[in-house]
Amino acid sequence: MALPSSTLATYQAIGNREDLSDRIYRIDPTQTPFMSGIEREKATATLHEWQTQALAAADGTNAVLEGDDATTDTVTVTVRLSNICQISDKVARVTGTQEAVDHAGRGSEIAYQEMLKGVELKRDIETVLLRNQTKVTGDTTTARTTAAVLSWIATNDDHVGTSPTTSGSVTRVDGTQRAFTEAQVKTVLAACYTAGGKPDTIMAGAFNKQAFSTFTGRATPTEDTKGKKIVAAVDTYVSDFGTLKVVPNLFMRTRDVLILQMDMWALAFLRPIGSKALAVTGYSVRRQILGEYALVSRNEKASGSVNDLTTS
């Protein structure tokens, strides 16, 4: 069957309007559980400092004579720690013409690009905070960097490689990778408890989050025949030392599992994340989205990690 003679079809027609949906679809992950879950502080200099305090060891022989003179005990001083404020930014730039034309799915092109760059910056900062990165003071040719989580946790870690110091000045040295086990988690949790910590969150990459879901009680998936669903995930872990959330994190290193007391970490902002218009240098508009921040490890003994894990 053929098209009747002299019949105009869409294939020949000139002037048909395009059919472009007024929606834009994005599936890239934007959840940043570490950055979103820790507290905020204010920094007032590029070097942000704080103090930690330890108690003297418990003395089971603490008994004194009746009427004896009091003996002064050894003083326990505070420890002064610091981190460097790092600057992270994203810049959006749009020509004046692109801003002027009619757009599908957004009103202002520069506003839309500014929003995207803000989301991207948040993902960048989450990745920075979870890297194996030390603090760097920086100079006129070297950018300052803030010591990330992995360069702080040193007391309660189950690993093959080498632990960092507790000052944020030394990176963790990776070792031979091995399978993730529940015994490793229990070892770290016991160490955190002994040190006085109360971890509440376990973070893992996709592979080891699934491995965690096969631990005791979830070795075999259970099926709810009435609800027609299979339960094969663990989102809460009830340990001997408390209940912890189990959270996947796409921006952390997949070879690590973090066991965190979240209120013992904070993000100190010298300049909170914000946007500003940059000077016009041509027929275009620019926006810079920027934050200046330092990670605060209020006391690394409250948290722990399992490192050097297989990722596939």
Helix (H) or strand (E) holding 201: strand 201-204
Residue 217 clears pLDDT 80, i.e. is over it = no
Return the structure tokens found at 194.
Answer: 């002994």
Residue 222 clears pLDDT 80, i.e. is over it = no
Percent of the chain having pLDDT more than 90?
Answer: 73
Find, among 90, 85, 156, the residue nearest to 117 by Cα.
Answer: 90
> Average pLDDT for residues 214-225, to the nearest whole number?
64
The overall average pLDDT reported for the chain is: 91
| pLDDT attached to residue 12 | 79
> From CA 107, how far away is CA 105, in angstroms rounded?
7
| pLDDT attached to residue 7 | 72
120: pLDDT confidence band, cut at 50, 70 and 90? Answer: very high
List of domains in the chain: 33-52+78-170+179-306 (3.90.1690)
Name 206's Cβ contacts closer than 8 Å, sequence gap at least 6: 248, 250, 254
Write out pLDDT tens, residues 254-276: 999 999 999 999 999 999 999 99
Chain centroid offset of residue 71 CA: 48
Name 139's Cβ contacts closer than 8 Å, sequence gap at least 6: none
Return the structure tokens found at 191.
Answer: 């160490």
Find, among 290, 279, 277, 274, the residue nearest to 108 by Cα.
Answer: 277
The HSE-up count of residue 210 (CA atoms within 13 Å, CB side) is: 7
The HSE-up count of residue 139 (CA atoms within 13 Å, CB side) is: 1
- Residue 177: is it exposed, middle or buried by C-beta count within 10 angstroms (0-12/13-18/19+)? middle
Return the structure tokens found at 164.
Answer: 């960092």
220: pLDDT confidence band, cut at 50, 70 and 90? Answer: low
Helix (H) or strand (E) holding 52: strand 47-52
Residue 126 clears pLDDT 90, i.e. is over it = yes
Residue 14 clears pLDDT 80, i.e. is over it = no
| pLDDT attached to residue 167 | 84
> Average pLDDT for residues 108-123, to the nearest whole number?
93
> Average pLDDT for residues 278-307, to the nearest whole number?
95
Q: Are 79 and 130 in contact (CB under 8 A)?
A: no
